[in-house]
Amino acid sequence: MVEEAYRHGIFPMADMDLGVVSWYRPRLRAVIPLDCFHVSRSLERRIRRGGFTVTFDCGFSAVMRACADRPETWISPEFVEVYTGLHRRGQAHSVEVWVDGELAAGVYGVHLGGAFFAESMFHRVTDMSKVALKALADRLLEQGFALFEVQYLTPHLARFGAVQIPNREYLRRLDEALALDCRFHPGEDAAAS
């Protein structure tokens, strides 16, 4: 059901207080054009300085739980279970940033065809969520993804080049992206996704 919802431009969020899941199709959608991903000078300097390690799909559930560890969240324990199932099927992925062997930041989302639907990110070390987002954008661009959706435009995401598009345009781009056969991991075979 979750996969089918994403294919139709709909995504879920849990209301933790009410214990219900609501489905959303915003009138305006936020996307980051991969060929226009913006990296600030300060982030370039931070990346050059190093001191961190980036991995992919090495701590999916840990990233989700860290994203949920905030005063207000839509990521219920059931969400972690469902999305971990998508991850096992190759339809959800995470990017982890490690500092001194500890999980410092991460981002996760759903992958269908040539579309990636970013769900949430977190950081415990300054700038590391930016490093995770940059690593994700680089991976998607390298692998030929056509759509990088981030749900809602925020000032933080706008700094990376996120823009809003009308839902009709989003659905057109989504159809084009779903027709692609992109792999999240280089060299991944067709059976994996």
Residue 134: in which H helix or E strand, if any? Answer: helix 128-142
Range of the domain at 72: 27-192
pLDDT tens digits, one per residue of 93-131 = 999 999 999 999 999 999 999 999 999 999 999 999 999
Burial of 51 (0-12, 13-18, 19+ CB in 10 A): exposed
Q: Is residue 2 part of a domain?
A: no
20 within a domain of the structure (yes/no): no
Paired sense of beta strands 53-56 and 28-31, if any = unpaired
What DSSP element (H or E) covers 174?
helix 167-178
Across the chain, what does the average pLDDT equal?
93
Provide the number of structural domains found in the chain: 1
Does 1 reside within a domain? no
Query: What CATH number did the domain enclosing 57 receive?
Result: 3.40.630.70
| Residue 193 predicted with pLDDT over 60 | no
Please write the tens of the pLDDT for every residue from 139-187. 999 999 999 999 999 999 999 999 999 999 999 999 999 999 999 998 7
Strand partners, 111: 116
* 188 has a pLDDT exceeding 90: no
